[in-house]
Amino acid sequence: MIGAPEVATQLTNSLPPGVVARDWTMDNRTWFAAVKTEKRMMFLILVLIVAVAAFNLLSSLVMAVKDKQSDIAILRTLGVSPFQIGKIFLVQGSLIGFIGTFLGVLCGCLVAYNIDVVIPFIERLFGIHFLDPSIYFVSTLPSHPEVDDIGLIGITSLVLSLLATIYPSWRASRLQPAEVLRHD
């Protein structure tokens, strides 16, 4: 498939001297730059949302370690190694991150691929119009999800959630049973 710039170049080469063919991408260069910037900003916003979720995962795992200190101490006195203790919290956090990412990507894809059904349903339900045709150039919300973008967001979410499990797992593995049981 040949793009518009290549066709314009081929036409310019085949036209008489002094005649130049311009493609529509050159005429609308600022619009393409704006769309590219918007796409980058949306990715940044999604990464920040995922980072907040990963921080939430981190704080809930830290609280779980804090709440389970006596249980961890008892397991350690029974012979469970620090590595196994850390692995428990690593698996717990990874499972939460994986399930959250899977459900988020699934629900996001369902909405994005069915936006033409979802928006009219919400408009009828609440009696509002998101895109009034008398004000906006478009009357429907366009949605064209790209598999690469979905994969990138999903992988970023998984990586951040896995990184969020490292500190609580390390902290749980470093607990000293004598210290914890002394304070209980």
Q: Look at the chain and report how many structural domains it folds into.
A: 1
Per-position pLDDT tens, the chain of length 184? 467 778 878 888 887 888 777 777 777 788 878 888 988 998 899 889 988 988 999 999 999 999 999 899 999 989 999 999 999 999 999 999 999 999 999 999 999 999 888 888 888 899 887 777 777 766 677 788 889 989 998 999 999 999 999 999 999 999 888 887 777 6
| Residue 13: inside a domain | no
Q: How far apart are CA 25 and CA 30, in angstroms?
A: 9
Q: Answer yes or no: are the C-beta atoms of 57 and 96 closer than 8 Å.
A: yes
**Does the residue 106 lie in any domain?**
yes
Instruction: Determine the structural domain holding residue 51 and report its residue range.
Output: 40-183
Q: Which of 106, 108, 104 is nearest to 96 (CA)?
A: 104
